[in-house]
Amino acid sequence: MLDFSNTEVAFQSKSDRDLKRANLLFKVIASPRVVTFGKWATSIALALRLPISGLIKATIFKQFCGGERIEDCVPRINELGAFGVGTILDYSVEGKTSDEDFEHTTKIILSTIHMAAESKHIPFAVFKVSGIGRFDLLEKASETDPNPDELTQIEIAAVKSRFERICDAAATHGVRLFIDAEETWIQPVLDNWTFEMMLKYNSTKAIIYNTVQMYRHDRLAFLKDQYELAKSHGFIYGVKLVRGAYMEKERERAQALGYPSPIQPDKASTDRDYNEALRFMVDHHAHFALCAGSHNEDSSMLLTQLMAEKNLENSHEKYFFAQLLGMSDHISFNLANAGYNVAKYVPFGPVKEVLPYLLRRADENTSVAGQTGRELGLISAEVMRRKGKC
């Protein structure tokens, strides 16, 4: 019987010291004021070139990241793999703008694909298109009536060339590949390029996966449209289903520019559409492959029930669950223990360059209602269980 409150299974990979560190970290993150001050103090310390990287690396980086280089992640990959949990290596360096940096990022992403091809513990590779090309170029390519000049066209073509190189490598090595979702004003070109790659590579199994953010009120209809296209073109539409990561930015931009917000009116609407999307894809499983990226217990449990209703085995190759490293171990490890396919997103990159990602994790844990409290409660329960066992 699947039970997300089973802390013995949830934290079986954690030492007592790991639990104490996580407990302290989540207590800090639980305070919005402390998080706000910490972000400010970190920015000042970095600007003054104070030696704080060691402190960051020993605390928040250790909780949420696998290492600074791919090689550093190997112990974490093996640790997770020992308990049936896969790894998704995520190069989480952001904010680059030069072609030299984009080529460097492309090579690292290709390295993660090669590593996935050689490891039984790495079921997916992943990348953000804004990590291999300038944001403004993706915005221009996404405009409904684009009329870029010749230089812009050449630059966009260079980004698409990197995109295709990554997808081609994934297909060549038989590695499933997530293409992360991004802001709504650059998402159209990502959807279009991803669709082209699915047509090319997903005829018999899902290699290329689009990421669908259900905090957008139009995405359920989008999924249904993609189903019709997948059915008519005879391919499998790969989906990483998430709730989303850019809500405040989206609302602020919509208000500033005077257009209707693309975001759901409330969390209940997001939850409803997320669960409805699960139902739709399982009902039409012949044309979908799904990775449910969720820290929501109800949605995770729902997918297990939907699979059972369709007599789909727990370890069915078209169904995965995914959570972020350092969060929701009670979901990840209990699912894996019950025989489901599970993977953790394991970010990596130089400490200072991954800092924007880490600060977002802190913000999200602070802002998501009940998330930090739930993590703390489970950690405390396991600490008490272990003390009682001694």
Q: State residue 50's pLDDT score.
A: 59
Residue 355 tokens read as: 């800092």
Cα–Cα distance measured from residue 262 to residue 10, given in angstroms and rounded to the nearest whole number: 36
Q: State residue 369's pLDDT score.
A: 46
For residue 208, the cross-strand partners are 177
Q: What predicted TM-score, i.e. pTM, was given to this entire model?
A: 0.93
Return the exposure string of 55-92: e unless at least 16 CB atoms fall within 10 Å of the residue's CB, then b.
ebeeebbbbbbbbbebeebbebbeebeeebbbbbbbbb
Q: State residue 307's pLDDT score.
A: 98
Cα–Cα distance measured from residue 243 to residue 54, given in angstroms and rounded to the nearest whole number: 33
Q: Which residues of the chain have pLDDT under 50?
A: 366-367, 369
Residues 6+ positions from 93 with CB-CB distance below 8 Å: 105, 131, 349, 350, 353, 354
The string of DSSP codes covering 222-262 is: HHHHHHHHHHHHT--EEEEEE--S-HHHHHHHHHHHT----
- Grouping H, G, I as helix, E, B as strand and the rest as coil, residue 260 is coil
Residue with tokens 């991803």: 194
- Count of beta carbons in the 10 Å neighbourhood of residue 274: 26
Cα–Cα distance measured from residue 62 to residue 212, given in angstroms and rounded to the nearest whole number: 29
Q: State residue 35's pLDDT score.
A: 55
Write the class of the CATH domain 69-350.
alpha beta
Contact 122, 173 (CB under 8 A): no
Contact 114, 122 (CB under 8 A): no
Domain ranges of the chain: 69-350
Cα–Cα distance measured from residue 50 to residue 20, given in angstroms and rounded to the nearest whole number: 27
Contact 375, 327 (CB under 8 A): yes
